[in-house]
């Protein structure tokens, strides 16, 4: 039931996003990829009733178009992580730098698909986050000690795909679906993740 509710929320966001995208009159052209530098941000949230963990996240980043369809960049990320499990309720501030790369696989979904879907580009995304975490809640070697003031860095690897569409002059709206493929236990994210953001 909890997983059903989570999936329902994700589907509702997708429908809303596609409705917004299809309401515009912009389409991608060759000039859309002519600028070398870009910047952007996204917000993310997750209310997982099964794991009883709520997450609120924000990111700002700078990017560079290495090739017309290959982008790379860096930024910073902040997340408020709230665990509501009985007997282990806590909130934590998580933050750190991130690097990413995007590859535009399809510039126009309408030209690729046999039916009208969306005047947008499909892209593949990968990123690495170096999160600063409180040892007390995220380190396996804390031995039950009270280490509220001690923190450590741990990498988190994400990969996924998304769709972006021009929303105005030099601005783009996108939605991104990702999976945490980190090999360590006690992951921060529960799969799948979805993000909504803007590029400028």
Count of domains for the chain: 1
- Rg (the chain; Cα; Å): 18
Give dist(CA 199, CA 69) in Å, integer. Answer: 15
First-last CA distance in the chain? 39
Give dist(CA 163, CA 148) in Å, integer. Answer: 40
CATH number for the domain harbouring residue 26: 2.40.160.20
Q: What are phi and psi of 43, to 5 degrees?
A: -120, 150
pLDDT tens digits in sequence order for the chain, 200 residues long: 444 444 555 544 454 444 444 444 334 444 454 568 899 998 887 776 666 788 899 999 999 999 989 999 999 999 999 988 767 788 999 999 999 999 999 988 877 776 666 678 999 999 999 999 998 888 766 555 555 568 999 999 999 999 998 887 778 888 899 999 998 877 888 888 888 888 88
- State whether residue 131 is helix, strand or coil: strand
Instruction: Report residue 83 as tokens.
Output: 């665990």
pTM for this entry: 0.78
DSSP 8-state assignment for residue 33? G
Residue 128 belongs to domain spanning: 2-199
């Amino acid at each position: 039931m909890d997983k059903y509710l989570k999936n329902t929320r994700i589907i509702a966001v997708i429908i809303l996003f596609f409705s917004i995208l299809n309401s515009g009159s912009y389409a991608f052209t060759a000039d859309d990829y002519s600028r070398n530098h870009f910047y952007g941000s996204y917000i993310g949230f997750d209310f997982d009733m099964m794991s009883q963990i709520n997450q609120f996240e924000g990111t700002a980043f700078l990017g560079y178009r290495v090739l017309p369809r290959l982008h790379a960049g860096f930024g910073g990320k902040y997340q408020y992580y709230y665990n509501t499990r009985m007997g282990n309720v806590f909130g934590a501030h998580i933050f750190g730098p991130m690097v990413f790369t995007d590859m535009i696989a399809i510039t126009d979904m309408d030209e690729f698909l046999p039916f009208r879907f969306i005047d947008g580009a499909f892209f593949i995304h990968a990123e690495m986050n170096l999160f600063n975490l409180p040892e007390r809640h995220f380190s396996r070697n804390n031995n039950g000690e009270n280490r509220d003031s001690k923190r450590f860095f741990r990498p988190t690897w994400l990969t996924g795909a998304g769709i972006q569409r021009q929303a105005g002059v030099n601005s783009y709206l996108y939605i991104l679906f990702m999976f945490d493929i980190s090999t360590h236990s006690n992951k921060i994210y529960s799969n799948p993740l979805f993000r909504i953001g803007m590029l400028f």
